[in-house]
Each structure stands twice: as structure tokens, then as C-alpha cells.
């Protein structure tokens, strides 16, 4: 089962390494990891997506809560949170197929943020299903480069 875990931490040296080490030490492979500052200057939020059984994950969460510099840990159950990803994508798009790429972007509310004679750079945000559906549609044009943030989540 996939779990999205939010960890609020103090901005201190080595906190990320200790948290990642705890996950790997318990045999969890991190699917996505996102770390960013919060509205409070001294705090950051880690959003981690992992696969694993509930009992092992509950033990991991208890151990996370005991780590120094960890303020709060939340395991978002299905439907408890809103989540989004951001993807920047460079796609081959010359004069022949550019209008088709633009139509797909319009349907998915993606934004073209850079255009050259041979390619376009697209920005899209949404949940994992929307992102994956968009990627499947634009794949035949030729994906030249992609950067994907991973999931960000917040309690409803």
C-alpha cells in the first residue's frame, strides 16, 4: 500500500540524512521525496511517498516522532489530503505537430513556458493520475527531458 507521510522538521544540518536513513534502515524504498521551507523560517516540510504494510509503517512513524528536530509527523490516509505534483517537460514540437501539442496542453490546463524551433517546454501541475495521463498522450511526440517534483500534500 502507498503512504504519503508529511514530516515537519527544524531547519538543521543532517535532519534529512537521519530521516532518509531511518526509512532505508527499515527497508522502505522512497518513491518520492520533496523537501521545502514552510511559512515559518526555521521549519521545513518533507513529503515522503513510500510503499509498505501498515504495521511496519506505524512503527516507523513512532520512530520518526522520537527523532531530534522532528516537530510533527502525519500519515495521510486515502482522501484525507489534497496532493499535487509539478512537472517540467521538454517535448519535440516542430511546425508540423506544435498545434497538436498545444491542444493537449489546453485540455490538461498545462502551460507552455518556452518555445524554440524544435521543441517546447511545458509546465503541468495536478494529481498523479492527471500527470500520468498527460505524459502518456505527449510521449509519442518525443520527451527530450523531464523534471518531476514528486507529491506535495496538505490536510483537507
Q: Where are the domains of the chain?
A: 2-78, 82-155
Residue 156 confidence (pLDDT): 83
pTM equals: 0.82
> Are both 2-78 and 82-155 of the same fold?
yes
Residue 29 confidence (pLDDT): 86
Grid cell in block for residue 74: 502525519
Residue 54 confidence (pLDDT): 84
- 82-155 maps to CATH 3.30.70.1150: yes
- 2-78 maps to CATH 2.40.50.140: no
Phi-psi region for residue 109, left (φ > 0), alpha (ψ -120 to 50) or beta? left
* Rounded-to-integer distance, Cα 111 and Cα 67, Å: 41
Residue 76 confidence (pLDDT): 87
| Length, in residues, of the chain | 156
Amino acid at each position: 500500500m502507498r503512504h504519503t507521510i508529511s514530516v515537519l522538521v527544524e531547519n538543521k544540518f543532517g535532519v534529512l540524512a537521519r530521516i532518509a536513513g531511518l526509512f532505508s534502515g527499515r527497508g522502505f524504498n522512497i518513491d518520492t521525496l520533496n523537501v521545502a521551507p514552510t511559512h515559518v523560517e526555521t521549519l521545513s516540510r518533507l513529503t515522503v511517498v513510500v510503499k509498505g504494510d501498515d504495521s511496519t509503517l506505524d512503527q516507523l512513524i513512532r520512530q520518526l516522532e522520537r527523532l531530534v528536530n522532528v516537530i510533527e509527523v502525519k500519515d495521510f490516509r486515502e482522501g484525507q489530503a489534497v496532493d499535487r505534483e509539478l512537472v517540467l517537460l521538454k517535448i519535440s514540437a516542430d511546425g508540423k505537430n506544435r498545434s497538436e501539442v498545444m491542444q493537449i496542453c489546453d485540455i490538461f490546463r498545462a502551460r507552455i513556458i518556452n518555445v524554440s524551433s524544435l521543441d517546447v517546454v511545458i509546465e503541468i501541475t495536478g494529481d498523479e493520475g492527471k500527470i500520468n495521463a498527460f505524459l502518456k498522450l505527449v510521449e509519442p511526440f518525443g520527451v527530450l527531458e523531464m523534471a518531476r517534483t514528486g507529491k506535495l500534500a496538505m490536510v483537507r
